[in-house]
Structure 1
């Protein structure tokens, strides 16, 4: 079992990652880093025997850091690039929460550094590990829907995800910390899922967004985003909002052989048979427990950790999830640019 350090003991670090490690057969945590005294105290209580550090610098300078294999970065987005850079330079593998950076140029730099240092850079793209989306990917891999030409992905949230009360609980509304609003917070989840379903990266994007005047402090971040991604084989439309009346994900996929709809844990599959003019349809419904209502998605992390362990074991330094993460950042940047230009279509190159 490879051992590592958890950097950042906020909501997702505590409720998602730390709990996931207690259930993992592949990875374990020997150190926790957090700058806030109350969070360090909580970590010490929850994880007895784990070394506690008050800064990343003190951890990186410690003898313990030299004996560990990886770091797991669960801090706000603006800190991801410097922390990942420091870890890779010291010979540590990196697991990093999304978005991996707040700029595509920083993501490119980290991937180049991972290759140079011979260490894995692995983004935590946990939506692909949700059981219902694993089921969807299995159906696509089997060719159940034929050639995919359209998809829609809607993520409804009634507000931004609040952080822990001890430290800036509304940091997602502070662009200098978060990098942006819901597009930066949830865009990666939406886009890497879309890449997998379409089997490619988009070549063009357009977007529009709104900012709420009723957000805490008068939000300077985007609350409501609608965007369209053009792929070589079709179109994907996405809607992300922090202003919904409920919490829900609704996805649809459409192909030459049928379509499907995901609403949280429910999956409706419609298969088409016959020829034009005499089509017949077979529809069935499934329920795949995925616990979408849990904001921490703790049940998904053992699968994430298993694939990260595989990447370290096989020296898969820049796995597909890392390439997807770079593409996500390029699409996010293009969406912000498009929205600033009244929704003008922006060409995007995700191939590099």
Structure 2
């Protein structure tokens, strides 16, 4: 299967390495309007184009992989789906626009291509180990979950193009909640198997680093079916890096903190150390596993509905969190979101 990368920044280079380690996929083309980035792509042995139209005139890809900043996701999604291509997209995958998500959902439904979210944290080996533990019979029913992501600042982009775009509300559509929040949300719903019903959120800027247009810290409480509550904390204002995930079940518990895994099943405690690679922004080994899953999904299109539901749920929770924070943390009900999910084919 042949593909083209849309955007060639830090994340795209990680994707390129992942594709190189995935049998059955050949990515040899790049679209990037920045001359320095097209030169970097050519130096890496890729054919580079300044526009999508130029690329599609010279290439015959089966899919595109969108690795651009969020404000251009919708336009590239539309182009790829229009041309009947499979479309992969980095987070935040779906961005709210005038009229909500109806337009992109209609485009996805009408296209012959697969729409695939790059939810790469699901493929981190240390978190697939966490999933194995949670799915074990002795773990029981999930009762609660808490995830905490501490970072010492926002990820900086390539120097050739607006390296601090993550702090620009026009380009990024928000701050850390829009940037890293999706990882926490989709991972929490995936691991717990629960459906969000309501969201409460508080956010603010605590780092005082001159980037005041977007939030650098957010705390979410998510009420789910089964009376399960999920607590998510994300910040760019910490004094140190830390990644922490904890899920409690009726018969066991598991925590992942950086490279450390501790859990209890059937009354027996366990501890192990696994390389998490949480601190590698390219996550190339995660991407290889994700792209292998993408290939499987192209052969089983009946699995696309669950992917779309996960993608849409993630975006709707983030939207509700912003609405909550704008109203002093009030609980925002997701009833209308559930109706949209049903309409999307969940």
| Normalised TM-score (structure 1) | 0.91
Pair 1:341-2:327 in alignment = yes
Residue 62 of structure 2 is aligned with which of 69, 77, 94? 69
1:55 to 38, 51, 55: 51
Q: Partner of 2:165 in structure 1?
A: 171
Give, in whole Å, the separation in 2 of the partners of 1:188 and 1:59.
30
Aligned to 1:277: none
Q: Does 1:93 align with 2:82?
A: no
Give the Cα–Cα distance (whole angstroms) in 1 for the partners of residues 243 and 264 of structure 2: 19
Residue of structure 1 aligned with 2:120, choices 106, 120, 126: 126
Shift of 1:90: 0.9
1 CA distance for matches of 2:305 and 2:286? 19
Q: Shift of the alpha carbon at 1:212? A: 4.0
**Aligned length, in residue pairs:** 336
For residue 33 of structure 1, the aligned residue among 14, 31, 34 is 31
- Counterpart in the other structure of 1:12: 11
Query: Greater CA deviation, 247-256 or 307-316?
Result: 307-316
Cα distance between partner residues in 1 of 2:272 and 2:27: 36
Alignment partner, residue 133 of structure 2: 139
Specify which of 66, 89, 109 is matched with residue 103 of structure 2.
Answer: 109
Check whether the contact 1:121–1:317 (CA below 8 A) recurs between aligned residues: no
**Cα distance change of structure 1 residues 317 and 254 upon mapping to structure 2, 3 Å threshold:** closer
RMSD over aligned Cα, in angstroms?
1.6
CA change 1:268–1:108 in 2 (3 A) is farther
Which of the residues 227, 233, 239 maps onto 1:245?
239
Give the drift of 1:94: 0.1
1:9 and 1:306, CA in 2 relative to 1: closer, same or farther beyond 3 A? same
* Alignment counterpart, residue 332 of structure 1, candidates 315, 318, 332: 318
Q: 1:200 to 1:213 in 2, by over 3 A?
A: closer
Task: Specify the SS of the correspondent of 1:204.
Answer: strand
Q: Report the CA distance between 1:111 and its aligned residue.
A: 3.4
d(CA) in 2 for partners of 1:268, 1:155: 18
Deviations 1:104-136 (A, max 9, x none): 766553333222112100010000000011111
Give me the whole-angstrom Cα distance separating, in 1, the residues matched to 2:302 and 2:140: 31
1:298 to 2:284 alignment? yes
Question: Structure 2, unaligned stretches of length 5 or more?
Answer: 342-346
Q: Distance in 2 between matches of 1:120 and 1:295?
A: 26
Tell me how far apart the structure 2 counterparts of residues 241 and 148 of structure 1 sit (CA, whole Å). Answer: 26
Moved more, 294-303 or 139-148: 139-148
* Residue 219 (structure 1) shift: 2.0
